[in-house]
A and B are shown apart, each in its own frame.
Chain A
Amino acid sequence: MLSYILRRIVATLPVMAIVALFVFSLLYIAPGDPAVVIAGDQASPEDVERIRQSLGLDRPFLIQFGSWVWRILHGDLGTSIFTNLPVSTMIGQRLGPTLSLMMVTLLLTIVVAVPLGVVSAWKAGSLIDRAIMGFAVFGFSLPVFVVGYMLAYIFALELEWLPVQGYTPLSQGVWPWLENLILPAIALGCVYIALVARITRAAMLEVLQQDYIRTARAKGLGQGGILFVHALKNAAVPIVTVIGIGIALLIGGAVVTESVFAIPGLGRLTIDAILRRDYPVIQGIVLLFSFVYVLVNLMIDVTYTLVDPRIRY
């Protein structure tokens, strides 16, 4: 197992290299110029050119790329063109809120979607099943920002139960941390809950047709034990796969959610960096996201061995 994990980690290196080259090339040919944004509206073309030179943006593509790769190999993601802060510092500042949002959303999804899917499969064809699947279609169809605005209006402005925006670090208390995340997590989780609930239902329906389930019932096992101990464990592989794939959905959704709820996370940093053409920050974030995605896939593969002992690497 350990050698498999090591092999997979080593295999990420060429993937990361291709991502790096792709992102760098894309930014190089994309229109827009950070020097223009920095110089401001009143700046002369000469001022813009001098800023471009001071940032090293006038150098040839290969030299810029080579110097960036060299820094990456030394563990340096570079310095933001705009803030003059190390990219690693900026990412570090934003990692906490995004990690928090993703963890709470993930937890919420698993706690809500998996039981919903199990119940839906158990009551397949019934009114409960249709209601749950109707909710799933609804949740899947609503854009994140619409859900976000509705939740903020009802629970923050009208009922005054929760704050509209912001983020409080966990170090300031569990409730202050959580109260800022509840609405964003529900908004972001809607699509995810719908997706996981549907996949859980489909996987469970298949498992519930198996002979060993009939045998379990014949032995007089309780419904809860059959559903959550015997059936769910065997239906877990596709569910875990979808949860893993859904992390990509979460990364994309976090961009919108963080803007709607003014959470200072990586999603907003990405948008800000793109609009300003802050190349080192964009490159740093894309590398990080790629790495996370590769890592999540690895974790999913490892998780398969935990839920299905027949799988060995």
Chain B
Amino acid sequence: MDRRTVLKGLAGAGGLALTGLSAPAIAQGAAARTLRFVPQANLANFDPIWGTQYVVRNAAALVWDTLYGVDAKLQPQRQMVESEETSDDGKIWTFKLRSGLKFHDGEPVLSKDVVASLSRWAARDPMGLMILAIQQELSAVDDRTFKWVLKQPFPKMLYALAKNNSPCAFIMPERIAKTDPFKQISDYVGSGPMKFVKSEWVPGAKSVFEKFADYVPRQEKASWLAGGKQILIDRVEWLVMPDPATAAAALQNGEVDWWENPIADLVPVLKNNKNISVDIGDPLGNVGSFRMNHLFAPFNDVRARRAVLMALSQEDYMRAIVGDDDALWKPLPGFFTPDTPLYSEMGGEILKGKRDLDAAKKLLAESGYSGQPVTCLVAQDQPITKAQGDVTADLLKKLGMNVDFVATDWGTVGSRRAQKTPPGQGGWNMFHTWHAGADCINPAPYTAIRANGDKAWFGWPNSPNTEKEVTAWFDAKNLDEEKAAVGRLNKAALDDVVYAPTGFFLTYTAWRKNVSGITKGPLPFFWGVSKTA
């Protein structure tokens, strides 16, 4: 063996590895018909029922269609469905599918596919579970007709089938939809306007979608998940960029066309670039929050929880998250998304006006707090939770509390918050998170507002008054009744401090000016989007 042999061998092996593992090339002419998009997160899996992360829902909305879709007015509209009928007693729903619907493998969309898809969805969705609890039968009547027979009326049926929060009721072929809802699918044949190109999927880096030529869009104008989903581009590439500075540079350099959620710090740079448009992405925004553990002292006493609420300044939290841009946040003296029909400030006085630290300290002392450590979980790898955690630590110290600040990562918070053991034994007193505004428009998808003790979300609040009003909303027959129920719910949840809302905040989206048709919404909509060279 000599040097030349070694070098030849290395060059040969290296070349083989580098060329053999390469991805297929795309034709140069396709560049103008290809939209390069930087999503909010990595598409690590692609089963929108099994995994409920928003990035999965966003991609799935391209690939699978729904029976109904919620529009920009938050109203359910027909999508795959042509018509529906309800029996006089409200217990039997009969639906008819539009004709000509096809899956990506060319097979027609039939009632049996819908039945299997709805069964899988219902097993994982909070509203679906409510329907399952009163279901008598879900069956196909013929190829285009199916019916859902219930034991009692469920007035929110169309909203459940149309809602945009995860998991959505996506329609898949029966053979795929029969997969156990707790196991992941591996066949991605869809019913929506674009096909998922599995062969080009590099999880963590790239996902590719191509226009489905046989998709039959509705004739109505597109509005969020409703209306005609006209695809004007041939191909969408999702390019994952873990570093926001890289995404900003790539957008400025024309290497990508659309960045879903630029961070606030980089927005001024993008706004100064004449080739880039920047606007609010999702008008439903986000609700910041921290949750207190209702099972253990000090927050098992409502006075301690109210003391924290009395002292907290939402402005401090919001500025920590979005910076100095006042267009990006609003105070939120309640729990529901501002500027939506059910928004209420009833009972919100505790979060309004000048903060009264002395009164808060007095109330905290009345609760019996005597200096025990307060275990505060703060995920450092999520800028929003980190910013909130820093403000909370300061707030608790001002209140005279002994803060046990646990700086960790989101994966650890995710598992530790499920622990019901005392804080000193692996449990916790507080953790920070946020909720998509789309989840906070009414009580149906709003898991965080539920206060049914052991069955409630982490922190396990027990507030019978809150639960009573959730039920009242489900039973409401019109918008006025719904508003009244949600107003009372807002007050009850604030009185008992189900959780602490830290404010309402928005995020921007940014795109190159040669891209048009981008609309504001709770997820990035690709229908109606076009691009010039």
Residues in chain A within 8 A of chain B (CB atoms): 1, 31-33, 36-45, 47-48, 50-51, 53-54, 80, 82-85, 90, 92-96, 99-100, 103, 149, 152-153, 156-157, 160, 163-166, 169-172, 177, 259-262, 264, 268-269, 271-272, 275-277, 302-303, 306
Given contacts A33-B415, A42-B52, contact A276 B246 (CB under 8 A): no
Q: Which residues of B contact A99 (CB under 8 A)?
A: 14, 17-18
Q: How far is the CA of A149 from the CA of B204 in the complex (A)?
A: 21
Give B197-214 interface residues, CB cut-off 8 Å to A: 202-206
Partner pick for B183 among A54, A164, A262, A268, CB 8 A cutoff: A54
- Sorted nearest first, the 10 A-B pairs with minimum C-beta distance are A169-B22, A264-B205, A40-B52, A33-B415, A96-B21, A32-B411, A36-B414, A171-B22, A164-B249, A170-B18
Complex contact B184–A268 (CB within 8 A):
no
Q: How far is the CA of A93 from the CA of B415 in the complex (A)?
A: 30
Is residue B242 within 8 Å, beta carbon to beta carbon, of the partner chain? yes
Partner pick for B412 among A31, A47, A50, A96, CB 8 A cutoff: A31
Q: Which residues of A contact B126 (CB under 8 A)?
A: 42
Q: Which residues of B contact A259 (CB under 8 A)?
A: 242-243, 246
Q: Which residues of B contact A272 (CB under 8 A)?
A: 42, 44, 203-204
Partner pick for A275 among B1, B2, B381, B415, CB 8 A cutoff: B381
Q: Which of B250-258, B293-301, B310-318, B394-402 lies at the interface with chain A?
A: B250-258
CB B396 to nearest CB in A, in angstroms, measures 23
Complex contact B439–A42 (CB within 8 A):
yes
Complex contact B1–A262 (CB within 8 A):
no
Complex contact A169–B411 (CB within 8 A):
no
Q: Which residues of B contact A80 (CB under 8 A)?
A: 203
CB A18 to nearest CB in B, in angstroms, measures 26
Complex contact B25–A96 (CB within 8 A):
no
A-B contact pairs, 28 of them (CB 8 A): A1-B1, A31-B415, A33-B414, A36-B418, A40-B53, A42-B439, A42-B445, A42-B447, A43-B52, A51-B50, A54-B183, A84-B45, A95-B21, A149-B245, A156-B249, A156-B253, A160-B253, A165-B241, A166-B239, A169-B18, A169-B23, A169-B25, A170-B22, A171-B19, A269-B204, A272-B44, A275-B410, A277-B411
Is residue B124 within 8 Å, beta carbon to beta carbon, of the partner chain? yes
User: Which of A42, A80, A92, A160 has the most C-beta atoms of chain B within 10 angstroms of its own C-beta?
Assistant: A42
Given contacts A51-B182, A164-B250, contact A93 B21 (CB under 8 A): yes
Q: Which residues of A contact B2 (CB under 8 A)?
A: 306
Is residue B29 within 8 Å, beta carbon to beta carbon, of the partner chain? no
Complex contact A96–B202 (CB within 8 A):
no
* Per-residue contact bits, chain B 406-421, to A (CB 8 Å; 1 contact, 0 not): 0011111011101000
User: Which of B186, B205, B415, B445 has the most C-beta atoms of chain A within 10 angstroms of its own C-beta?
Assistant: B205
Partner pick for A36 among B18, B183, B415, B433, CB 8 A cutoff: B415
CB B197 to nearest CB in A, in angstroms, measures 14
* Per-residue contact bits, chain B 1-39, to A (CB 8 Å; 1 contact, 0 not): 111001000000011011101110100000000000000
Q: Which residues of B contact A37 (CB under 8 A)?
A: 411, 414
Q: How far is the CA of A262 from the CA of B259 in the complex (A)?
A: 14
Is residue B117 within 8 Å, beta carbon to beta carbon, of the partner chain? no
- Counting contact residues on chain B (CB < 8 A from A), the size range is 35 or more
Please classify the interface of chain A as helix (H, G, I), strand (E, B), loop, or mixed, using the class held by over half of its residues. helix
Q: 9 additional contacts, CB 8 Å, given A262-B240, A275-B381?
A: A42-B439, A42-B448, A54-B182, A149-B245, A163-B253, A164-B253, A170-B19, A262-B247, A272-B42
Q: Which residues of B contact A53 (CB under 8 A)?
A: 182
Complex contact A165–B182 (CB within 8 A):
no
Q: Which residues of B contact A93 (CB under 8 A)?
A: 21, 202, 205
Q: How far is the CA of A170 from the CA of B19 in the complex (A)?
A: 5
Complex contact A306–B44 (CB within 8 A):
no
Q: How far is the CA of A269 from the CA of B25 in the complex (A)?
A: 22
Complex contact B14–A103 (CB within 8 A):
yes
User: Which of A84, A90, A275 has the most C-beta atoms of chain B within 10 angstroms of its own C-beta?
Assistant: A84
User: Which of A40, A54, A277, A303 has the most C-beta atoms of chain B within 10 angstroms of its own C-beta?
Assistant: A40
Partner pick for A45 among B19, B165, B418, CB 8 A cutoff: B418
Q: How far is the CA of A193 from the CA of B23 in the complex (A)?
A: 31
Complex contact A32–B412 (CB within 8 A):
yes
Complex contact A83–B203 (CB within 8 A):
yes
Partner pick for A32 among B22, B414, B448, CB 8 A cutoff: B414
Given contacts A40-B166, A42-B126, A166-B239, contact A84 B1 (CB under 8 A): no
Complex contact B246–A262 (CB within 8 A):
yes
CB B176 to nearest CB in A, in angstroms, measures 13
Is residue B455 within 8 Å, beta carbon to beta carbon, of the partner chain? yes
Q: How far is the CA of A93 from the CA of B24 in the complex (A)?
A: 12
Q: Which residues of B contact A92 (CB under 8 A)?
A: 21
Complex contact B412–A84 (CB within 8 A):
no
Is residue B324 within 8 Å, beta carbon to beta carbon, of the partner chain? no
Q: How far is the CA of A54 from the CA of B181 in the complex (A)?
A: 10
Complex contact B186–A84 (CB within 8 A):
yes
CB B40 to nearest CB in A, in angstroms, measures 14
Complex contact A268–B204 (CB within 8 A):
yes
Q: Which residues of A contact B245 (CB under 8 A)?
A: 149, 260
Q: How far is the CA of A152 from the CA of B255 in the complex (A)?
A: 13
Q: How far is the CA of A275 from the CA of B41 in the complex (A)?
A: 13
Complex contact B182–A50 (CB within 8 A):
yes
CB B374 to nearest CB in A, in angstroms, measures 20
* Per-residue contact bits, chain B 475-511, to A (CB 8 Å; 1 contact, 0 not): 0000000000000000000000000000000000000
Partner pick for A165 among B25, B203, B246, CB 8 A cutoff: B246
CB A88 to nearest CB in B, in angstroms, measures 12
Complex contact B205–A48 (CB within 8 A):
no
Q: Which residues of B contact A1 (CB under 8 A)?
A: 1
CB B178 to nearest CB in A, in angstroms, measures 15
